[in-house]
Amino acid sequence: MSEYRVLIDADDAKGLVYRVSSIFYNNDLNILSNSEYVDKDNNKFFMRSVVDGNIDCVELEKSLKEALPSNSIVKIISPKKKNIIIMATKELHALGDILIRHEAGELEANILAVVSNYDKLESLVTKFDIPYVTISHEGLDRSEHESKIIECINGFENVDYIVLAKYMRILTPRFVETYKDKIINIHHSFLPAFIGANPYKQAYDRGVKIIGATAHFVNNNLDEGPIIAQEVIHVNHAYSWKDMQRSGKDVEKVVLSRALKLALEDRIFVYANKTVIF
Amino acid sequence: MSEYRVLIDADDAKGLVYRVSSIFYNNDLNILSNSEYVDKDNNKFFMRSVVDGNIDCVELEKSLKEALPSNSIVKIISPKKKNIIIMATKELHALGDILIRHEAGELEANILAVVSNYDKLESLVTKFDIPYVTISHEGLDRSEHESKIIECINGFENVDYIVLAKYMRILTPRFVETYKDKIINIHHSFLPAFIGANPYKQAYDRGVKIIGATAHFVNNNLDEGPIIAQEVIHVNHAYSWKDMQRSGKDVEKVVLSRALKLALEDRIFVYANKTVIF
Amino acid sequence: MSEYRVLIDADDAKGLVYRVSSIFYNNDLNILSNSEYVDKDNNKFFMRSVVDGNIDCVELEKSLKEALPSNSIVKIISPKKKNIIIMATKELHALGDILIRHEAGELEANILAVVSNYDKLESLVTKFDIPYVTISHEGLDRSEHESKIIECINGFENVDYIVLAKYMRILTPRFVETYKDKIINIHHSFLPAFIGANPYKQAYDRGVKIIGATAHFVNNNLDEGPIIAQEVIHVNHAYSWKDMQRSGKDVEKVVLSRALKLALEDRIFVYANKTVIF
Amino acid sequence: MSEYRVLIDADDAKGLVYRVSSIFYNNDLNILSNSEYVDKDNNKFFMRSVVDGNIDCVELEKSLKEALPSNSIVKIISPKKKNIIIMATKELHALGDILIRHEAGELEANILAVVSNYDKLESLVTKFDIPYVTISHEGLDRSEHESKIIECINGFENVDYIVLAKYMRILTPRFVETYKDKIINIHHSFLPAFIGANPYKQAYDRGVKIIGATAHFVNNNLDEGPIIAQEVIHVNHAYSWKDMQRSGKDVEKVVLSRALKLALEDRIFVYANKTVIF
């Protein structure tokens, strides 16, 4: 008896829950938990079930696809550690939080490597016996630099997610397209406020009373991909923008880890530049 | 075509989602939203579906009960305004918030009456053309006083919920039993901390940095019924207990209104002195 | 013996606390509480003291001004109810919350009148024996309409604050200039995200996981005045934009009341398009 | 020119701010920030000033003590890294968060050593070149075990704080007395709810909708010392107590780090089993 996560992304139609649950029933599967969402405006149906039983994944997927509208996406996932690559630049807090969670066994993930354009974080990462690859951007144009990174990433098999833990360079459409819906970024602002550079300075200048952070998938438009998680903290007039930045780090690391956990547990559906999260 | 809420409280068994969704399917019902929860420790299954279609409620209930374990509870509810009676003493904030929400059309409720042991809030309540009944406890023992209140409440038909909006007297087991799982109370503390009288004074003396409020169903043990909703706010050393009390009022009214809304939308299941909330 | 609030807004200089506290000392005043803030970047000093004693306000103000840099602003305020006018359009929740707080004695304010461009809220407001003035904008251009409102407001003496409780029309620079730093608005968004119309629709389209509200003083640029207070709540994919709007109302009323309370207690300094709040 | 933190804990009296600020003025000190609090009920005055200038600390302390009520406590602190010892048992998350913050340079602290009754965390700690001392309690009574720990701690000079990062053994009065107001503990609950063992199990059984964590100084009564910081997160019926425990870890580490930061920045006064925090 094993546990599986069944993810269904389909056009909405009558009886979808019935069709799916009857297949579960006929396969003698026990439903441990079940979440559904129907977006009427877009006529979309999403379902995530955790089931328990003896199954032939290929057969089950086939049965489900036959019972569902023709363009449906069905995933049957046996829970196991996913493979992630972390990209970082110079800041330690978000990366460090992931390393500690990994060390504590909190993450269903293998960290294949940390890739950075600087060597600053190498001594930290190698403490944890995780490969650290420095790919400097100096003397390279953006495309050349990214080619080297892609080459590096392609050296690893079955990369499930690329986590940008304060990777401070803009990615090209080619890079983003290569790892579509696989790149998770932490943006140091409560998007869509303060898009772009130095959001803490922008927030300070505007005199806001709350600052925040946003974890999102990366798409071609900077800071505009589907949002996974957001969190905020209260600030006041006595905060300089450096203080906001310092406090913001705590929010950033919390939000990035939360988003990563959701991804690792297969809880996120992406559509219409949004996420459905179960 | 009408909307119905279907609530199922059953012992867990294999295929329950299948059985229910097949009945929905065979009755040509469209599922608008669906929530399920299985408590494995207690072998319990809870489901709340919102469905759309033409149904004979009696027939549908019969079909569902036949398909479910024998002691299952099935409720099929056509969304309409529920009837509530509010009980209060002297404080205005929680009652006032409900009155304003009612006036704004935010609540799926008819307020049949406000019952109080003082006449202090009468002028407010009657502004809104809601009957105000003063039943003084003076000269009466607790049982006599409650008999009068029960008599008053019994004068209204189909009372769905009794909302204690800062009603400051302890209810007897007889009263609680009479309206089992129908009495919603707001407790001016983050339960189970500071059970009993003057929790703000207790919180102040303890030097806490957070205060809160708890909405719960009332059972026989004071402050120990199933919790529906809780919220907190941060305080600091500069707060006197009066300041805490003042700030606490804002949390109290928010939490009570949130709990009431959940009840009016039939989102709460009660079991094992806890709530399942969809 | 009476209580006074002393507010000082000055260019920063050495010994300001000493100079002020020595004047308090020599006037036999007891400091009940004291807050200071120095903005080094702008070389500004702000101080709010609550003192207790017998004072000649004119003399004390003169002494303080003599001791402080020449362009300092000194205010000595005897705590008493301030006069406010509320402007609204059709929505009830924010106005209603203020009315209930006023009725409960929570606000240090007299509500002189509610002014609206519709008569929709009249029956609510008059319940509380507060004058309701409908000034329709129909058939008038913006300037004519505002002239009528200004005329109406000028009919009241000593108006301390104008509270825009979901007043849905844009104010002209003339109006804003007339009541500079006296107009408090609630914006139904977590500024600076979603400036402009229907922010909940914008937020929904963007797929945010948090929505918020912002109370701010109004200046000439729409939604860009100094921020007083902000608050947020978490939402998820299952929220339609109508749901966000509904939930947003709760945040809006909380934030507007919080901002109003701060203003009534003379806790806000405005400078550089920001607020200092003690 | 150097920065100093001046902390004053005195019986309240007229003119204290004046007396202190005149001494600052006469010593040609610039006040960078200033916080005061008067507790009228207990007739206590607290002040924390950050000043800038050339001072003879001994002389300044003498001047201040002469100007203040006789039993006043005056501390003049030159900001520098404090020395801390961390005690832990088997759990990694709270300790790990401190190690990463230390590595990132976020803490004004030297970690002299980590002391544990197990060797489980040794490999983590030694990665960071921090001494790890295992002092097993096996075969020892509580007093013998603590004697060994005290002996170990006494081997380090100038220990400012002892941080209990999920140290799961009860400390004796002797130990607590030895390091009075120097021991910071993280309690895995929103005190005073769920005092004692396995608070997450208690919280689950009670069906709470919020869980929290509390950082406090340790005194002789278990879980009853002065509270420094508290934080909460929302949970729901679908959380098992293991889920609560997992989520609780995130709150625990945030709260402990926040409390430690406040201590390292000399922002905490302790009195009447409470804290004043500037």
Domain D2-77 and domain D82-277 have a common topology: no
The whole-number pLDDT of residue B224 equals: 83
Sequence-distant (≥ 6) Cβ neighbours of residue A40 within 8 angstroms: A12
B25, B31, B36 member nearest A34 (Cβ): B36
Catalytic residues of B: 223
Long-range contacts formed by D199-204: CB under 8 A, 24+ apart: D200/D241, D200/D242, D200/D244, D200/D245, D200/D248, D201/D241, D203/D241, D203/D244, D204/D239, D204/D240, D204/D241, D204/D244
The whole-number pLDDT of residue B196 equals: 74
Q: Do the Cβ atoms of A235 and A199 come closer than 8 Å?
A: no
| Distances from the Cα of B115 to the Cα of B95, B135, B214, C127, D230, angstroms | 11, 7, 22, 21, 38
Q: Is 0.90 topped by the overall pTM?
A: yes
d(CA A102, CA D142): 34
- Interface contact D22-C18, CB threshold 8 A: yes
Distance spanning both ends of chain A, measured CA to CA: 24
Could you read off the pLDDT of B38-80 as tens digits, one per residue? 998 899 999 999 999 999 999 999 999 999 999 999 999 999 9
Distance spanning both ends of chain C, measured CA to CA: 24
Binned average pLDDT, 10 residues per bin, chain D of 278 residues: 94 95 95 93 95 94 97 96 98 98 97 98 97 97 96 97 96 94 90 78 92 92 88 95 94 97 98 95
Instruction: Tell me, yes or no, if A11 comes closer than 8 A to chain C by beta carbon.
Output: no
d(CA C125, CA C131): 7
CA neighbours closer than 13 Å in the CB half-sphere of residue B28: 6
d(CA C69, CA D123): 61
What CATH topology corresponds to B2-77?
Alpha-Beta Plaits (3.30.70)
Residue indicated by tokens 């053309």: B129
Instruction: Tell me, yes or no, if A33 comes closer than 8 A to chain B by beta carbon.
Output: yes
State the chains in contact with C (3 or more Cβ–Cβ pairs under 8 Å): A, B, D
Residue C179 pLDDT exceeds 90: yes
> Which residue of B lies nearest to A23 if distances are taken between CA atoms?
B18
Active-site residue, from C39, C56, C205, C223: C223
CB atoms within 10 A of CB B180: 12
- Interface contact B231-D237, CB threshold 8 A: no
Nearest one of C124, C122, C98 to C111, comparing CA atoms: C98
Position D247: which residue type?
S
Could you read off the pLDDT of A164-185 as tens digits, one per residue? 999 999 999 999 999 999 999 9
The whole-number pLDDT of residue A192 equals: 72
Residue indicated by tokens 């293998």: A110
Instruction: Tell me, yes or no, if B229 comes closer than 8 A to chain D by beta carbon.
Output: yes
> Which residue of D lies nearest to A106 if distances are taken between CA atoms?
D246
- Interface contact C191-A208, CB threshold 8 A: yes
Which residues are registered as beta bridge partners of A187? A214
Indicate the SS3 state at residue C70. coil
- Interface contact B250-C254, CB threshold 8 A: yes
Q: Do the Cβ atoms of A215 and A258 come closer than 8 Å?
A: yes
Instruction: Tell me, yes or no, if A130 comes closer than 8 A to chain D by beta carbon.
Output: no
Q: Do the Cβ atoms of B215 and B264 come closer than 8 Å?
A: no
- Interface contact A227-C212, CB threshold 8 A: no
C33, C92, C254 member nearest B104 (Cβ): C92
Q: Do the Cβ atoms of C50 and C4 come closer than 8 Å?
A: yes
The whole-number pLDDT of residue D199 equals: 86
- Interface contact A96-D106, CB threshold 8 A: no
Sequence-distant (≥ 6) Cβ neighbours of residue D135 within 8 angstroms: D115, D116, D117, D145, D148, D149, D152
Active-site residue, from A9, A97, A223, A266: A223
State the chains in contact with D (3 or more Cβ–Cβ pairs under 8 Å): A, B, C
Nearest one of C193, C200, C252 to C223, comparing CA atoms: C193
Structure tokens at A202: 């922008």
The whole-number pLDDT of residue A254 equals: 95
Instruction: Give B143-209 as a DSSP string.
Output: HHHHHHHHHHHHTSSS--EEEESS--SPPPHHHHHHTTTTEEEEESSSTTTT-SS-HHHHHHHHT-S
Instruction: Tell me, yes or no, if C73 comes closer than 8 A to chain A by beta carbon.
Output: no
Nearest one of D209, D173, D167, D163 to D188, comparing CA atoms: D167
d(CA C34, CA A180): 55
Min Cα separation D59/chain A (Å): 31
The whole-number pLDDT of residue D66 equals: 97
What is the residue extent of each domain of chain B?
2-77, 82-277
| Distances from the Cα of C173 to the Cα of B65, C184, D53, angstroms | 67, 15, 47
The whole-number pLDDT of residue B1 equals: 76
Q: What is the ipTM of this complex?
A: 0.93
Indicate the SS3 state at residue A104. coil
Dihedral sign from CA coordinates of A34, A35, A40, A41: negative
d(CA A101, CA A93): 12
The whole-number pLDDT of residue B73 equals: 98
- Interface contact A237-C277, CB threshold 8 A: yes
d(CA A5, CA A27): 15
Dihedral sign from CA coordinates of D53, D57, D59, D60: positive
Residue indicated by tokens 């380090």: D156
Instruction: Give B50-103 as a DSSP string.
Output: EEEE---HHHHHHHHHHHS-TT-EEEEE---PEEEEEEE-S--HHHHHHHHHHH
Q: Do the Cβ atoms of D189 and D114 come closer than 8 Å?
A: no
| Distances from the Cα of C133 to the Cα of A32, C101, C118, C151, angstroms | 60, 21, 9, 12
β-pairing verdict for A132-134 and A109-116: parallel
- Interface contact B207-D238, CB threshold 8 A: no
d(CA D166, CA D189): 12
The whole-number pLDDT of residue B168 equals: 92
C14, C24, C36 member nearest D30 (Cβ): C14
Position B26: which residue type?
N
Instruction: Tell me, yes or no, if C262 comes closer than 8 A to chain A by beta carbon.
Output: no
Indicate the SS3 state at residue C255. helix
Residue B132 CA to chain centroid, in angstroms?
21
Query: For residue D192, is the peptide bond before it cis, meaning its omega torsion is within 30 degrees of 0?
Result: yes
- Interface contact D124-A106, CB threshold 8 A: no
Provide, as residue numbers in chain B, all residues whose Cβ is less than 8 Å from the Cβ of A32: 38
d(CA B80, CA B2): 12
Spatial strand order in the sheet of A2-11? A73-77, A2-11, A44-53, A30-39, B30-39, B44-53, B2-11, B73-77
Residue indicated by tokens 């502004």: B127
Min Cα separation C203/chain B (Å): 22
CB atoms within 10 A of CB C250: 20
Instruction: Tell me, yes or no, if C223 comes closer than 8 A to chain B by beta carbon.
Output: no
Instruction: Tell me, yes or no, if B38 comes closer than 8 A to chain A by beta carbon.
Output: yes
Could you read off the pLDDT of A199-236 as tens digits, one per residue? 899 999 999 999 999 999 998 776 789 999 999 999 99
The low-confidence residues of chain B, meaning pLDDT below 50, are none
Indicate the SS3 state at residue C153. helix
Q: Do the Cβ atoms of A73 and A9 come closer than 8 Å?
A: yes
What DSSP character marks residue D29?
Answer: P
Could you read off the pLDDT of C216-228 as tens digits, one per residue? 999 877 678 999 9
> Vertex D15, ends D9 and D17: CA angle to 5°?
55
d(CA D200, CA C105): 40
d(CA C79, CA C71): 25
Q: Do the Cβ atoms of C12 and C40 come closer than 8 Å?
A: yes
d(CA D170, CA D223): 10
The whole-number pLDDT of residue A190 equals: 73
d(CA A67, CA A57): 15
d(CA D156, CA D162): 12
- For an interface test with A, give the residue of C237, C244, C255 to mutate (most A CBs within 10 A): C237
Min Cα separation C106/chain D (Å): 23
Instruction: Tell me, yes or no, if D250 comes closer than 8 A to chain C by beta carbon.
Output: no
- Interface contact C227-A208, CB threshold 8 A: yes
Instruction: Tell me, yes or no, if A144 comes closer than 8 A to chain D by beta carbon.
Output: no
pLDDT tier at C134, thresholds 50, 70, 90: very high
The low-confidence residues of chain A, meaning pLDDT below 70, are 191, 222
What DSSP character marks residue D121?
Answer: T
D193, D207, D273 member nearest B275 (Cβ): D207
State the chains in contact with B (3 or more Cβ–Cβ pairs under 8 Å): A, C, D
Q: What is the mean pLDDT of residues C232-257?
A: 95
- Provide CATH code, domain A82-277: 3.40.50.170
The whole-number pLDDT of residue D232 equals: 94
Min Cα separation B36/chain A (Å): 7
